[in-house]
Structures are given as structure tokens and as C-alpha cells.
Chain A
Amino acid sequence: MISVVCVLFSRPDDDITLNYLSYFSKELVELSNSSGFKTINKESKKANKKNILSLIKNQCPNLIMFNGHGSPKIICGHKREIIVNSEENPEVLKNSITYSLSCASALVLGPKSVEKGAISFIGYESDFALGKDPESEASPRHDKIAKLFLEPSNILFSSLLNGYNVQTAVEKAKNKMKENIWYLNTTKSFPEAIYYAPFLFGNYLGLVAHGDKNASI
């Protein structure tokens, strides 16, 4: 009997930053669906602790993507409700590959979850910075700056969905970050571009993977 790969998305969108993350990760949900995976997408207020923990327990997802606010020990869902906490429930990530698009959660929660049985935890050891084009106010679709910050993240997760292992997915994301940093430094398209580069470089330095880097779905 062939088991179907299960992918879980937690995509709160209750502030402008989360709204950007949610918008840009929509294509990943679509890719997961079109790849034939069992895709569970919890967005907006459905990205809450009760729903997500229940789904992890009952569906045992192979791959999880968390968008949300975070800190070294936690990942949050809708309205900053803590979903995973290194001191409370790091074991919920066991047997899964997790990608946490949130601030600093790879610093403590990442290694702790691996210690408790997670296959791999990919995330950021520092705050995830997101640049925004002031001219495309609150419109992620038209934001050429935000795209440069979130494209690498999408490359990372789409690589995992396409069967690449953790290490390759992280390398692909980092390469895209470097490419986008170069673009910000050299483009003549918009004069403010160069000033965003240090923030994207912060994401480049902060992106890490814990656990089995050869793991794939």
C-alpha cells in the first residue's frame, strides 16, 4: 500500500506582514495540491492552535509550513496564539519536516524539536526581515521589493515539495537570496533598492536547518 504524502500549511493573515506571507505562500498550496499530495491548508482564523495541533496528531503530516510570528522558543498562529513552544510541546513536530517562516524559531525550538523526534526543522535563527515597496501600499501582488524577500522562501519550500532534500532546498534558497542581494545592489530600476540589501542579507545569514539534512518527502 502506497501512503500519500501529507502537507500541512498554517497561514495566519491578521496583520500586514502576515498578509504578505500568506499571499506569497498561496502558490505553494497550489503546487502541493497539483503534485497530488494530501494538502491541508489552514488560513486566517483557522490557523489556530486547536486546529493545527489536532491535524498534526490525526494526519501526521510529512511536511509542515508555518507562516507566523515567532521568537526563539515559539511559533504562533492567528492573533499570535502560540502553537508550538519549545518548553511545552516540541514533540508535536516529530516525524515531520518543518519549515518555519517566522522570526528566530530555529534558534531554540528548532534544535529542541529535533531532539524530540522531528526529522528536520528549517527556519531562521534571527528575525525574518521583509522589505516592502512603499509605492505598492498593502498590495503584495504588485510589491517588487517584497517579492525579492519572499521568492527565496518559496524556492525553499517548492524544492521540498518537488522532492529535493533539506540541504539542497536550503542551498537553493540561499543562492536565490544572494542573487537578489546582487540585484538590489546593482539595479537601476529603482534607486532605493540598494538600501534593502542588508536586510535580505540578514535573512541569508539566519536561514538554517537542524536535524537530517538528507531528508526529503
Chain B
Amino acid sequence: MKEEKENLEEIKKEIAIERLRQAPPSIKVSFGTADGKFMNRDEMIKQIQSDTEIGKKIMKMQLEYLKAFKKEILAGD
């Protein structure tokens, strides 16, 4: 059971990373971190790979977005 959960987390992580890899390296996003700096694509991927708090949040944003499409929340009203 624990192993299944860990595998699922790894899959989620890979999905988020692969989605980010499709983006141009120059995209920049700030998540209000202490220094106020913007992260580029590779810095965001590194955060996810390193399991940091901000990496988990970035992963969550990517997955929530995919879920939203599934639920058709964004289906233009």
C-alpha cells in the first residue's frame, strides 16, 4: 500500500516535470519566496525534483490544472 502511494507520488512528480519541460526555458514565475525572485523553468523543475515545499506547490498547480480540464471547469461559460 505504502509502495503504491509512493509510486503514485513519483508519477505525479514526473507528469508535472514533463509538462514544465515542454515550456521554453525562459518562462519566469514568482511564488513569493523570501527573496522575491522569479524562477525560470529549470529552477522550477529542480524544486520539484528536490521535493522542496515550493516544488510540491508547483507540482500541485500543474496537477490541479490538469484535473480542471478533466472536470471541464474551464469549458468556457
Q: Which residues of A contact B (CB under 8 A)?
A: 14-18, 20, 69-70, 80, 102-103, 126-134, 178, 181-182, 185, 191-192, 195-199, 201-202, 205
Contacts and interface: CB of A to CB of B under 8 A. Distances in A.
| B-side interface size class | 20 to 34
B68 A192 contact: no
A199 B31 CA distance: 9
A182 B64 CA distance: 16
A17 B27 contact: no
B46 interface: no
A128 B57 contact: no
A191 B61 contact: no
Contact of A178 (B19, B30, B35, B74): B74
B36 A15 contact: yes
Contacts of B19: 198
A134 B36 contact: no
A155 B66 CA distance: 26
Contact of B29 (A130, A182, A201): A130
B42 to A, nearest CB: 13
Most buried by A among B30, B61, B64, B74: B30
A198 B62 contact: yes
B29 A199 contact: yes
Most buried by A among B36, B54, B60, B76: B36
5 contacts: A14-B36, A18-B36, A191-B24, A202-B57, A205-B64
Contacts of A202: 57, 60-61, 64-65
A188 to B, nearest CB: 15
Contacts of A128: 31-32
A131 B31 contact: no
Given A15-B37, A181-B74, A195-B22, A131 B29 contact: yes
Nearest to A194: B23
Interface in B1-53: 19-20, 22-24, 26-32, 34-38, 40
Contacts of B38: 16-17, 130, 132
